[in-house]
Amino acid sequence: MQTSEKIQSMRGLDGGSWTPFLRAKEMLAAGESVIDLTIGDHDIKTPPELIQAMNRSALSGRTGYAEICGVPRLREEIAQRIESRTGITTTEKNVVITNGGQGALILIHLALLNQGDKALYGEPYYPTYPNTIRAAGGRPIAYPMPPEFGFQPNRSILESLAPGVRTILFNSPNNPTGAVYPMEKIKLIADVAQRHHLWVISDEVYDTQVWQGEHVSIRSLKGMADRCFVIGSMSKAFAMTGFRIGWLVGPEEVMQDIAELITVVTFGVPEFVQDAALHALQKSHELEQQIAAPFKRRRAAALEILKGRNAVSLSPPDGAMYLMLNIRQSGMSGKDFADLLLARERVAVMPGESFGATASGHVRVAMTENEDKLTDALDRLASLVESLANSNRT
């Protein structure tokens, strides 16, 4: 049977992004000892009180169909959270509950793109971005954010690509690079979007994980609330990746249209999951800190162990749970180096190329193991680059 052209256009285009993760999983399942630093899934488990809140809700009978756009009390809670963080009036009518940040990403691209519309996204990118745009019928166009620009957006690159484009997607704090865009870069994106009449999609799923600098939401900028959509998630901030719950915030009239899409795509998010999310958000200050703290400590330990290891250079890990390491002195591609590191040192990391050619010669390390394991892995990684660099010189 022939599947649609759309799905065929998506096939194999992620360049085997998830291969190292799948390989590490296989090795672990076969009983091998591997330090798995591939994907952004916490080793820290969901706080038990959130599981209890979910159980209480389900046992009380909240197991039927939920409201399509989400439980009103949860939408209100998210509206308040966004309003207090951006200073922009936000009501529950601006919020819909989605199946994770990914659910929000596909809904908003489906809502905004016509068949063949050009849609910009930053590279290095979160690997689902290009196929999310393709699935929505759009034409993905990457705007490169090379390492020499600190993996930050650049005006002349954006200006050259913006004409004729319908949407621009960006992500700060960034996966995979750990970059946090300062106010001047958020203003740059807003300015380009306003002058070229683009809709802006701001993926802020790591907004509670900022180690250096400050998270700026583009929604807080003058004139942007009518033009931008913010994607949020319970996954990273509350260690709730498997609960599949997040949100989309944007202009009310578009949210009404999104309800039509949710009706045919998922028919909503389970009520007991929404109740657990509400419980988490009501205690957000305490829980967010609890989940973020280990990553902050690990980042500090990583910087310490990599100090003076000049064969490896680290882009400033200002936010999110990742380190992006330049391993070019090894003389290898990120992919070949990641394969060798796994085979020789039993350390699994993601090749930079999994996130687009802009990150070639790099590997991404997810800080999803405790300090001891993480620093052991980084030490082995740096030693491997050093020995390859030395043998290249001789």
Site residues (CB under 6 A) for ligand PLP? 40, 100-102, 126, 171, 175, 203, 205, 233, 235, 241, 246
Q: Burial code of 265-301, b = ≥16 C-beta within 10 A, e = fewer?
A: eeebbbbbbbbbbbbbbeeeeebbeebbebbeebbeb
Alpha helix locations (H) across 320-360? 334-345
Nearest CB to ligand PLP, comparing residues 202 and 330? 202
- Shortest gap between Cβ of 224 and ligand PLP (angstroms)? 20
Planar angle of CA 281, 210, 169, nearest 5 degrees: 85
Tokens of 382: 């740096």
Helix (H, G, I), strand (E, B) or coil at 248: strand
- Shortest gap between Cβ of 47 and ligand PLP (angstroms)? 17
- Shortest gap between Cβ of 22 and ligand PLP (angstroms)? 16
- Residue nearest ligand PLP (C-beta atom): 100
Nearest CB to ligand PLP, comparing residues 233 and 368? 233
**What type of residue sits at position 134?**
R
- Shortest gap between Cβ of 276 and ligand PLP (angstroms)? 14
- Shortest gap between Cβ of 264 and ligand PLP (angstroms)? 19
Tokens of 81: 């959270």
Nearest CB to ligand PLP, comparing residues 363 and 385? 363
Alpha carbons 48 and 168: distance in angstroms, whole number: 38
Q: How many CA atoms lie within 13 A of 63 on its CB side?
A: 6
Nearest CB to ligand PLP, comparing residues 102 and 167? 102
- Shortest gap between Cβ of 244 and ligand PLP (angstroms)? 7
Nearest CB to ligand PLP, comparing residues 101 and 268? 101
Handedness of CA 307, 309, 310, 313 (dihedral sign): negative
CB 106 within 8 A of CB 254: no
- Shortest gap between Cβ of 40 and ligand PLP (angstroms)? 5
- Shortest gap between Cβ of 275 and ligand PLP (angstroms)? 18
Nearest CB to ligand PLP, comparing residues 34 and 97? 97
- Which residues contact residue 277 at a Cβ distance below 8 angstroms, ignoring those fewer than 6 apart? 74, 97, 234, 238, 240, 243, 245
- Shortest gap between Cβ of 247 and ligand PLP (angstroms)? 10
Tokens of 345: 């040192």
Alpha carbons 17 and 36: distance in angstroms, whole number: 15
CB 228 within 8 A of CB 250: yes
Nearest CB to ligand PLP, comparing residues 193 and 230? 230
Closest CA relative to residue 119, chosen from 187, 8, 200, 175: 200
Handedness of CA 192, 194, 195, 200 (dihedral sign): positive
